[in-house]
Structure formats: structure tokens, C-alpha cells
Amino acid sequence: MESILHAALEGFRFVFSWPNVLYPVGATLLCMFVSLVPGIGGMTLMALAIPFTLFWDREHVALLFGAFMGGATFMGSLSSILLGIPGKASNAATTFDGYPMARQGKAKTAIGAAASASALGSTFGVFVLIALIPLLRGLIVQFGPAEFLALVIWGLTTIAVVTQGSVVKGLVAAGVGMLLSYVGYDPRTAELRFTFGTLYLEDGIPLPPLFLGLFAMTEMLDLATSGRATVSGQTKAERLSGSLREGALSVFRHPWLFLRSSIIGTVVGIIPGVGGTVAGFVAYGQAAQSARKHGGRFGQGDIRGVLAPEAANDAKDAGALIPTFAFGIPGGTGTAMLLTVMTMHGIAPGKTLLTDQLGLVFVLVWSLFLSNWVTSLVGVATVGPAARMTVIHRHFLVPIILVLTTVGAYAYQGRIEDVCLTYATGALGFWMKKHGWSRVPLVIALMLGGIFETYLGITLRLHHLGRIDFWHRPIAAGLLAAAALSLGLRWAQAARGRPPAAAQEMP
Amino acid sequence: MVQRARNSAFTASILAILALAAPSVRAADPAPSAPGPLASDAAGCGGRLAGQRIRWIISSGPGSAYDVPARLIGPHFAERLGAESVFENRSGASGLVGYKATKAAVAEGDVVINVLSGAQTLIGAAHGRLPDPVTGMHLLGQIAGSRYVWATGKDSPFATLDDVFATARERPIVFAVFEPKGSAFTRIVGMNETLGLDATYVTGYKRSPQIAMAAIRQEVDVIAIGLSGQESLFENGDLRPLMTLNGGIGAFGMDALPTFAGPDGVVMARARALGRDLDDAAAEAAAITAFSEIGRIVAVPMGVDPTLIPCLRATLEATFASPEFRRDAEATGRPMDTLSAEATEALIERARARLETLKRVADAAAARLSQ
């Protein structure tokens, strides 16, 4: 452990020394800037950087790529809160309470909460990584398809927790979401499903254009027809009631919630292939569950609904590095790119990296850490101008956002079908909103349905072949117990007739 | 699309500034030198592409085994022509999305090069989804080969391939594979059938790392995996190699492993043991090897001025041979198994000769899975 702390300290000194600190800061700012341009994100930036960094030394490459991995995260949170548009799939859960807060004129509070939860969540993830390094390899092997499946099931129970009003409507929306997630190839047999002979649907429904429709377009159509002049209902920024300080300090008012969410994020990050989407939903679900006991207003602008997914989302980043370092198993596209770069620079993941080259690991980890803090601080610094978006008159805001939505949908893959999908889901979302159908169950089921199906198929097959015994997997059993507990508590609350804590009118 | 390319160029220029500022421990390495007009003339281009933009449309995601070689070759290639390379990733629908994007780019009047999987294209052509890689597009060559290995987890009871065959007599050997009907599935199923190994499959894995973890956790017995990007798993001993497709892998002691094809290969030994027709077995092994060795190809869609093709082919070959490119390729730690258009064509034709057999075997295995 002493050598780990020494390496962590050495890595910290390297990253925060002059002029090295310029690399993560510059790369983060660049990443934040290009994230504003449709069609370019952190991944594209990483791909572009590969040939440019071929002759850099390893430490500076680690500085750069660590920052790229963390740089784009918070921008997604900003748009989630201000406009109800999740910048990335992993930010979707933040919209559920972040956007209602913006509508109440509390955008600053929500942004402050998101910034502090992100920065502190990232810090938590880094320290857990340091503590777990000696145990990492053994830990990762314990997570197989059965555990992935149990975790996704826990994520799906969020639907029961957040669905209010008509249970039937919630279940129907979730069912539609599940069906949509099955569009494309069956992962086990490669048979095409629900594609109606179109090439476009063969790879499934692409999530970014769908989000643009279901969130951005829906919210703008709602704003255009609601009679409200602005998102917040206020026409002058001075009248906004939110406070950045209040938001930033909210993490300390809900320490256990922050801790639980950060643990969820870190654990989910460690599991390769599950990703931040599950982390956000599971964290949101457990926050909503616990808030019910104390009469929360989830879905109507509860600050805990912002804290939980944001803390989990950033805590997962350090966790996601663990399988990449320990085995060379990337958890997602970002870590896959990182692995490519590591290989190019002769850095082999595994035992050697986690013992003899631990200093290099920490250069990357601290760079990621710094990047997460830089994004949060820049977010805080720009909170004033950002919050002004919520007082822009709808006559200006709606057409601008609709144009950007259309451009963004097209820029995703350069396909007109994506634009059509955005418009279709925008119309669907608007209809759902007007008729009291929550979009949350649909989104959760859509995002988790594909992962659920994949791991259900693999788990059943392995169980059938006798390669695993699903009923004797303690971690999976624990996760399923947590899912069952969530449902049980929800049922008990409903049976006692407690007034619903979550929103009647979810976003 | 044009905007995308401009955005990429803009970001690339910012990164270039960062690159210039970066300290390098390899400062002794000379900077890549521009080959100058001589190389362009030698390729017979006569400066026709000077100052133009060449669009590389990569039919897979950023950072993939297709993307990295293309991004390394592209700048050297363009420099020789006095042109500029820009890159776009268009993944999806087994290469069809990328191919459609190249056709659209041609319609816009651009010089465009598509980077795609040779085996996938061959399978796609057989199903009428993609044009034939030899006759339906202008093949420029292979930019990276594929080195496949059969492996098992470090705690697996199988020390050698013979242990696998011995166990196969008692129970089915379990393989982890990607989705059925794809080129990887076709290759693995083809190898199993050729070896007379009555294996069973667990499908649904999305990426190579997931398959590797399945072997490490011993959920499955054997995996067939591309070496590229997975080297560390062998170096660290997390995976134990059992067989290479066709040898030639010097790293991690793999030269000592049995090879699938060849006169002394596993296929021939199994054919003798099982009493199979040796000529048939050799032909099947050659077809599977060729199918797997096609690797990542680069092609220009029909519609581009055909008089440019000889120039582009010659430039690509000159790029492969240039010391500057070789040095960059070596720096990546990934061998660039580059081939000329003619050599790649020969591989494709060799695979095509037995493609129907491979397809039939793969379809039969896929049908069993869906029952």
C-alpha cells in the first residue's frame, strides 16, 4: 500500500507541476469547446489525437487522454438542466429533476449541485481506485454476465420507483421502450426484428437523435404551446431564485445520498460494458426510493434527483479505468481508445502496469480527476450566462433550439433518417406530455432493454450449458435482493397509501 | 458532411499545435519528411490530386483496428500526392453504412477511400448487401492483416490443443462468439467444422474484450480472437494461446504453437486421424486462412475517375514501402501487414472459391442456435 501511495503522490506532483498542468487544463477546455460543435465529441478528439501524439512521451500522452476522458462529461449536464436535453445518454437521469428546477427558476441551484456532485464524485472514484488497486484483478473476475444482468434488473426497477400516476400508463410506456430497444439484430441469432426491411433500423434505434426528439424537441414544442414566455417563467435573470452556493452545498446536506450514489457509480464503472447510463438510473432510483420515506418531490425539481446521477456519473470514470488497467479490457469507447493509445506507446495493461508502472497510471488518473474539476469549475464560472438561457423569450429560444436539434440530429451520422427519427420522437414525446404519459419509463426501458436482453441471453445459455450456476452467485443474488427490496418498499408504500413522492407529471 | 470534415480539420489543426508544443522523449527521431513532388510523379499522378482533399471513410468506430491504421497511413499517403487526408467514421450495418457514405461522397465529387473489412465485404457481397470487393469496387490494397489465435483462460484445464480434442470426445467444447452470420462467426464455425470439433456456441458477445473475459472467467472453454489490441492478455498470462491460424506470430512464444493450416498444420493432422479426404481438408483450411487473412482493405467506390486508380494504387504501395511510414507503424507496436491490390485480390479469390462451403456451415450452425 505504501508503494501505491508513493506512486499516487508522484503522479499528483507530475500532473500539478508547471507546465504539465497546462496539458489537462488545455485539453479539457478544448474538449468542452468542441463538444459544443455538432458531430464532434470527446471520442472524435481522441481519435484525431492518436497520430499527433505518436512521438510524445508516455506521461504527456497520459495527461492528454486522461483529460479527454473527463472533458465532455459536464457539458452534457448543463444542457440536461437548462433545456432538458441530455448531452449524453449517461446524463439522461439528470434531466428528470434538473430541468424542472430550471423551469422553477432554480437553474443556478441545479448547476451548482451538479458541479459539486460531479467534482466530488470524481474525487471519490479516484480514492476508491487508489484503495482498490491491490484487489482489482480478483474483483473484476467476480463480475460475469449473471452479475451484469442482476445490475440491469436493479436499474429497471427504477421504472417502478419513478412511475407515478397511472401504473398502466407507466407499464405501457416501459413496454414500448423495451420493444424499441429490440429493434435490429437479435444478439444471439442475428435475426432482424422490427426493421420493416429498412437498412436504417438494422443497427437498432440510435439514441442521440431519439433523445433530441424525446427531450429537446418535446420541451421546445411544450414551451411554444404552453403560454409560458420563457423556460423559467421569468423574463429577467435577476428574478431567478436559485443560488449557486445553495446548490454547491447541497452535497454536504445529503452526505449519505452522495456516498451511496458515488459507490454505485464506482461499482458500475468497474464492470466493463455496463456504463454510465445504468449508473445514473440506479443512483437516481435509489435516491427516489429513499426520498419517498422523507416526502421528496422527485420529478418535480428535487435537488437530490440531480445530485445522485451526477455523483454516480463522474465517480464511474475512475472505476471504468480499472478493467482497462488490470486486464486491458475496456469498459466503453473512451477506454477502448485509451487502450489503443496505451498499446501504441508500449504500455501493456496488467500486473506490470499496476506494479512497476503505477506512476503512469496515476498520471492518467489525476489528469482525469483534474479534468473533472476543471469542467465543474468552468460550469460554475459560466453559470450566470448559462442560467440566462432560461429567461430567453420563447420566440427566440424555440427556433434556435429546434434548428440546433435538427443540425445535431443530422450531424450525428450525416443521415436524414436521424432527422426524421428526431421529429417523430419529438411528436411522440409532446403527445405523451400532453396526455399525462411519463417519458421516464420509456427512456429507462429503451436504454436498458438492449443490455438486459444481451446479458439475459448469455446468462441463460451459460446456465443451460452448466458453465455457471445462476442460483449460486452471491454478488448477483445481492444485486437482485437490492432490486427486490426496491420493489418491495415501493409496494409497501403504495399499500400504506402514502401520497406519491415523485411527480405526477414527470418530464 | 462537408461541415464535419471542416470541423475535423479544425480540431486536427488545434491538436497539431499541441503536438508541436509537446516535449518528446524520442526527440532524436527525425520529423516525418514530405516526400515531395518526385513521389507523386513516380506514382503517375502528375500532380492531379495536388491541393485536393482525400476523404477516408472508415466503416467502424474511432480507435478501432480499422481506424488506427487508416489514420496512420492517410497523412503519408496524402503527402505523396500533395493532398490532404480527412477522416470520417461511419460504422453500422456490417459495413453498409460506410459504403453508402462513400457513394454519397463520390456523388459530391470527392476523392474517397473506404476502409472496411475484406471478409465482411465478401460475406456482404454474397448476400447482395455490399458490392463485390474485386469487381464492384476499385480495390487499392490491404492496410492491416489479422492475426487470429485460439486461446483459453489461464486457469483452464486445457494446456494444449490436444487437451481440447480429448475433452471434445466426452462433452461439447463451448466457444464464445459474436453474433451469428458475421464474418467472425463464419470463420470460427468454419474452423470448428474443418477440425471435426462438434462445438457449441455462446453468442451475443459484442466485442473482443468481452469474449476474452468470458475465457478468463472460464465461462467458456475456448475463444478465437484477433491478436491486435489483445496482446497484453497473452503477455500477462491471462489468456493461454492454443493455436495460431497460420503462424508467423513471433510474440509471446506463439511461434512454437501449432498452426491451423499448412501441410504440418492441425487440420491435416486431424484429417488423417478422422480419415477425411486430405485434399478437401487442405482446400478448406486454405479457404478459411485466406478468408481470415484478407484483413482490413481499402477500396475506392465506382464512380471515381477510373484513370486515378493506378495512381492511387501506386501511391499506396509507395507509402507502404516508405521508411517514414514504416517507422511510424513500428512506433505503434502494431505490425502493419500491408499488401498490394493484386496480392489482396488473390487472397479474396482464394477465399471466394470456398465461400459457399463456409456460408453453408455458418448458416447451419446459426440455425441450430435459433432453435
Parallel, antiparallel, or unpaired for β B239-244 and B174-176? Answer: unpaired
- Structure confidence at residue A11 (pLDDT): 86
- Structure confidence at residue B371 (pLDDT): 58
CA distances from A189 to A393, B177, B225 (A): 51, 11, 20
Residue of B nearest to A53 (CA): B19
Residues B65 and B185 in one domain: no
pLDDT tens per residue, range B129-163:
888 988 999 999 988 777 788 999 989 999 999 99
Percent of chain A residues topping a pLDDT of 70: 84
B141: left (phi over 0), alpha (psi -120 to 50) or beta: left
Residues B86 and B195 in one domain: no
First to last CA, chain A: 47
Contact residues, chain A, for B236 at CB < 8 Å: 327-328, 348-352
φ, ψ for residue A429, nearest 5 deg: -60, -40
B282 pLDDT exceeds 70? yes
Determine the Cα–Cα distance for residues A439 and A431; give it in Å rounded to an integer. 10
A50 pLDDT exceeds 80? no
Determine the Cα–Cα distance for residues A438 and A171; give it in Å rounded to an integer. 10
- Structure confidence at residue B24 (pLDDT): 37
pLDDT tens per residue, range B116-126:
888 888 888 88
What element of type H or E holds A185? strand A184-185
Interface of B with A in 270-309 (CB under 8 A): none
A241: closest CA of chain B, how far (Å): 38
Residues B277 and B307 in one domain: no
B35 pLDDT exceeds 60? no
CA dihedral B183, B186, B187, B188 (to 10 degrees): 120
A20 at interface of B, judged by CB pairs closer than 8 A? no
Residue of B nearest to A44 (CA): B62
CB contact at 8 A, A204 and A414: no
Q: Which three cell numbers stand for residue B102?
A: 462513400
Contact residues, chain B, for A403 at CB < 8 Å: none
What mean pLDDT do residues A444-469 have? Answer: 89
Contact residues, chain A, for B181 at CB < 8 Å: 190
B270 pLDDT exceeds 90? yes
Q: Is residue B43 part of a domain?
A: no
What mean pLDDT do residues A272-287 have? Answer: 74
CB contact at 8 A, A179 and A194: yes
Determine the Cα–Cα distance for residues A264 and A327; give it in Å rounded to an integer. 22
Q: Are B97 and A413 inside 8 Å of each other by CB?
A: yes
- Structure confidence at residue A74 (pLDDT): 66
Of A130-139, A207-216, A273-282, the range with the highest mean pLDDT is: A207-216
Q: Is residue B64 part of a domain?
A: yes
CB contact at 8 A, B122 and B362: no
The confidence band for B269, taking pLDDT boundaries of 50, 70 and 90, is very high
Q: Is residue B197 part of a domain?
A: yes
Instruction: Return the number of other C-beta atoms located less than 10 Å from residue A339's C-beta.
Output: 22
- Cβ-Cβ contacts under 8 Å for A434 (sequence gap 6 or more): A222
Decide: pTM greater than 0.95: no
A463 pLDDT exceeds 90? yes
Interface of A with B in 396-435 (CB under 8 A): 411, 413-414
Nearest-10 crossing angle of helices B323-332, B309-321: 60
Residues B280 and B160 in one domain: yes
- Cβ-Cβ contacts under 8 Å for A152 (sequence gap 6 or more): A274, A278, A448, A451, A452, A455
The confidence band for B64, taking pLDDT boundaries of 50, 70 and 90, is confident
- Structure confidence at residue A387 (pLDDT): 73
Higher pLDDT, B68 or B99: B99
- Residue B42's closest CA among B81, B1, B90? B81
CA distances from A264 to A133, A260, A270, A313 (A): 18, 6, 10, 9
B9 at interface of A, judged by CB pairs closer than 8 A? no
Residues B139 and B160 in one domain: no
The confidence band for B249, taking pLDDT boundaries of 50, 70 and 90, is low
Residues B135 and B222 in one domain: no
- Residue A38's closest CA among A277, A220, A212, A246? A212
B197 at interface of A, judged by CB pairs closer than 8 A? no
The identity of residue A138, as a single letter, is G
- Structure confidence at residue B33 (pLDDT): 36
- Structure confidence at residue A42 (pLDDT): 67
The identity of residue A132, as a single letter, is L
Higher pLDDT, A405 or B166: B166
* Residue found under cell 456451415: B361
The confidence band for B56, taking pLDDT boundaries of 50, 70 and 90, is very high
Determine the Cα–Cα distance for residues B350 and A343; give it in Å rounded to an integer. 33
Residues B97 and B161 in one domain: no
Q: Are A465 and B19 inside 8 Å of each other by CB?
A: no
Q: Are A188 and B216 inside 8 Å of each other by CB?
A: no
The confidence band for A240, taking pLDDT boundaries of 50, 70 and 90, is low
Residues B228 and B96 in one domain: no
pLDDT tens per residue, range A366-376:
888 888 888 88
Contact residues, chain A, for B101 at CB < 8 Å: 414
Q: Which three cell numbers stand for residue B277?
A: 479426404
Higher pLDDT, A465 or A52: A465
Domain boundary among B229, B259, B291: B291
φ, ψ for residue A52, nearest 5 deg: -70, -25
Residues B255 and B166 in one domain: yes
Determine the Cα–Cα distance for residues A426 and A219; give it in Å rounded to an integer. 9
The number of C-beta contacts closer than 8 angstroms across A and B is 210
A392 pLDDT exceeds 90? no
Q: Are A144 and B219 inside 8 Å of each other by CB?
A: yes
- Residue A374's closest CA among A147, A162, A122, A48? A122
Structural domain containing residue B315? 53-145+294-343
B157 at interface of A, judged by CB pairs closer than 8 A? no
Number of domains in chain B: 2
**Gyration radius (Cα) of chain A, Å:** 22
- Residue A286's closest CA among A269, A265, A314? A265
Q: Are B209 and A330 inside 8 Å of each other by CB?
A: yes
Look at A211-215, A273-277, B102-106 and tell me which has the smallest mean pLDDT: A273-277
Q: Say yes or no: ipTM exceeds 0.95.
A: no
Determine the Cα–Cα distance for residues A422 and A208; give it in Å rounded to an integer. 9
* Residue found under cell 454536504: A252
CB contact at 8 A, B89 and B31: no
What mean pLDDT do residues B238-267 have? Answer: 82
CB contact at 8 A, B109 and B135: no
CB contact at 8 A, A271 and B209: no
B335 at interface of A, judged by CB pairs closer than 8 A? no
- Structure confidence at residue B99 (pLDDT): 87
**CATH code (residue B115):** 3.40.190.150
**Mean pLDDT score across all residues of chain B:** 79
- Structure confidence at residue A461 (pLDDT): 92
**Gyration radius (Cα) of chain B, Å:** 22
What element of type H or E holds A249? helix A244-253
B23 at interface of A, judged by CB pairs closer than 8 A? yes
Contact residues, chain B, for A136 at CB < 8 Å: none
pLDDT tens per residue, range A209-228:
888 888 888 888 988 888 77
Angle at B229 between CA B224 and CA B231, to 5 degrees: 75
Higher pLDDT, A363 or B27: A363
Interface of B with A in 202-231 (CB under 8 A): 202-207, 209-210, 212-213, 216-220, 229-231
SS (H, E, C) chain B: CHHHHHHHHHHHHHHHHHHHHCCCCCCCCCCCCCCCHHHHHHCCCCCCCCCCEEEEEECCCCCCCCHHHHHHHHHHHHHHHCCEEEEEECCCHHHHHHHHHHHHHHHCCCEEEEEEEHHHHHHHHHCCCCCCCCCCEEEEEEEECCCEEEEEECCCCCCCHHHHHHHHCCCCCEEECCCCCCHHHHHHHHHHHHHCCCCEEECCCCCHHHHHHHHHCCCCCEEEEECCCCHHHHHCCCEEEEEECCCCCCHHHHHHCCECCCCCCHHHHHHHHHCCCHHHHHHHHHHHHHHHHCCEEEEEEECECHHHHHHHHHHHHHHHHCHHHHHHHHHHCCCCCCEEHHHHHHHHHHHHCCHHHHHHHHHHHHHHHHC
Interface of B with A in 28-67 (CB under 8 A): 29, 61-64, 67
Residues B171 and B257 in one domain: yes
**Mean pLDDT score across all residues of chain A:** 80
Q: Are B229 and A57 inside 8 Å of each other by CB?
A: no
- Structure confidence at residue B25 (pLDDT): 33
Q: Are B14 and A30 inside 8 Å of each other by CB?
A: yes
Contact residues, chain B, for A52 at CB < 8 Å: 12, 15-16, 18-19
B36 pLDDT exceeds 50? no
Interface of A with B in 30-49 (CB under 8 A): 30, 34, 37, 39-40, 43-49
Residues B279 and B300 in one domain: no
Angle at A479 between CA A476 and CA A480, to 5 degrees: 85
What mean pLDDT do residues B97-116 have? Answer: 86
What mean pLDDT do residues A288-317 have? Answer: 79
A63 pLDDT exceeds 80? yes
Instruction: Return the number of other C-beta atoms located less than 10 Å from residue A309's C-beta.
Output: 38
Q: Are B4 and A39 inside 8 Å of each other by CB?
A: yes
- Residue B4's closest CA among B116, B77, B89? B89
Interface of B with A in 159-188 (CB under 8 A): 174, 179-182, 185
Q: Which residues of A453-481 are buried (b: 16+ CB within 10 A; e: fewer)?
A: bbbbbbbbbbbebebbebeebebbeebbe
**CATH code (residue B161):** 3.40.190.10
- Structure confidence at residue B174 (pLDDT): 94
pLDDT tens per residue, range A147-193:
888 888 888 887 777 666 677 888 888 899 999 999 988 888 778 89
Residues B298 and B267 in one domain: no
What mean pLDDT do residues A97-108 have? Answer: 84
